[in-house]
Chains A and B, each alone.
Chain A
Amino acid sequence: MNLNHLAYFIAALVATFGFGVLYNVPTRTLFASSFAGAVGWIVYYILSFQLELDLFVGVGVAAFLVAYFSQWYARHFKMPVIVFAIPGIIPLVPGGSAYNMMRAFIEGSSEMALMYATETFLISGAIALGLSVNSGLFQVFSNRAFEKRDKRYLP
């Protein structure tokens, strides 16, 4: 942890906070969701850029972590998970690769464009996978009276 990490952490915090305000997150949970988003982004940065793992792995782990924080907050504040998860994943959204894809298409280099398109697709898939795996695990492990519980409405 050095000064750079702190700057990135604050940047991610501000970004998540701004989107929380845009999506009208309840005021008393704004900082909680910002914190989840910032931690998620720092983990993504360390895994993907410093340890140089695949982007897919970094984003997946970060999304899993954001979802874990969100589940915990949801129980603590007694609010739905999306109140925390939607602002929290904003810094992970592949805006950069989507832009690069568009730019490559316009400049006529469709091979590069296809590469960036794959990257965009994989990253958004990894975000969704992280969230889904986490909610699945929570469904199984969070409730002791698993057998007695009313089943969710899943048509």
Chain B
Amino acid sequence: MSSVASRRSVLPGFGLSLGFTLAYLGLIVLIPLSAAFIKTSGMTWAEFVAAVASPRLIASYKLSFGISLLAAIVNAFFGGIVAWVLVRYTFPGRRVVDALVDLPFALPTAVAGIALCALYARNGWVGEWLDPIWAGGIKWLSTHVPWIDWAGWLGSKLAYDRPGIFLALTFIGLPFVVRTLQPVLAELEPELEEAAATLGANRWQTMTRVIFPELLPALITGFALAFARGIGEYGSVVFIAGNQPLHSEITPLLIITKLEQYDYRGATAIAVVMLVTSFLLLLLINLLQKWSRRYYRL
């Protein structure tokens, strides 16, 4: 019991496969990742703080977090509806729509980035008529909903500005919510709804009090996955963000900027902040998944 294998198995190949797995994992993932932490450990605390807490970076954290959150919320809402429609309704072309949901996984992020630009730029298919509506809408909001600070959004364009980041992150995050919800929804027995109905619940009560609580853990997991992906996303965003300092620069872009100035330490320090954030999210998601399975342990 002292070694890795807790009991001897008759199947051959344990040592070979585990050895190869660990070596490959170590060389490709663990050693390079640890390089980031080791590089940062050479910095003093003051240096580290200076590198990761400059005004330009703080602005980028707020932006990356805020817009990832916003995009994840929108995805949780629409993704939930998409999953419901795909699992529960039959309609012609359902298989095609179902396959298409994975497009953001399959389409290279750079392609998505320039495609969204082409659509939402002021001379683009959608931007042409949506951009004025957007500008008007924000103006209306700034006068009628004064308790929110709209300054960062006033006069913004859809593409090459903050809204573009939201569009790109919504595109990127959609499949996470749908694909996390779909299996849970498919496993959900229709008998549950029938039982609720025989007990006198109406459709609204059944949806909110029986189905929604069952789906909630998966919904939160999908939301968290989309959020985490949004924070790290680079390719699709840089094309459409406009990348104005202090206004529409995302955190990953600042890593690149530092690298281009040969400031490896500064870049690595930001990377460490991001890595720690995503590891904490990873932990949270794992806990969520354990929590969501708590009823199924028989």
User: Do A and B assemble together?
Assistant: no
Residues of chain A touching chain B, judged by Cβ–Cβ distance below 8 Å, are: none
Chain B residues near A (Cβ < 8 Å)? none
